[in-house]
Structure formats: C-alpha cells, structure tokens
Amino acid sequence: MLKITADTERCVGAGQCVLSDPDVFDQDDEGVVTLLVESPGAEHAENVRQAALICPSQAITVQED
C-alpha cells in the first residue's frame, strides 16, 4: 500500500507533482501542494515516486508497505 505525505512548509509551489499525477496531487490558490488521495492504489506507484523524485523542495515522501 502507498502512503503519501506532502510537506506544505517545504513546498515551493513548483507544480511538478501535479504534472506527475494529477489524480493524487493538486495545488491550492497559492500554489501550495494539496493531496487529493493519501493512499492511492498501486497503479499510482510509478507516478508518485516520480513526483517525489522531481519535486525541487523534496516535500513529497512516498512510503510503501
């Protein structure tokens, strides 16, 4: 199972995560990341890992168990 966390304090609003998986990540009016789903299905694993990798502020963590 996937468990996503997004640190809104670190987020710089670059929006890369939303491009990686718009079903999981969104941005609020100020561009700060918001999570649409905290535990997305396995089909999102690759996208959310990519988001964590390319986030310029390392605000996204992905746990898998």
Q: Does 6 contact ligand SF4 by CB under 6 A?
A: yes
Name the token pair of 27: 């941005």
**Residue given tokens 């561009």 in the structure block:** 31
2, 4, 16, 40: residue in contact with ligand SF4 (rule CB under 6 A):
16
Q: Does 24 contact ligand SF4 by CB under 6 A?
A: no
Residue pair 54/16 in contact (Cβ under 8 Å)? The answer is yes
Residues 29-58 that bind ligand SF4 (CB under 6 A): 33, 55-57
Distance CA 53, CA 47 (A): 10
**Residues near ligand SF4 (CB under 6 A):** 6, 11-17, 27, 33, 55-57, 59-60
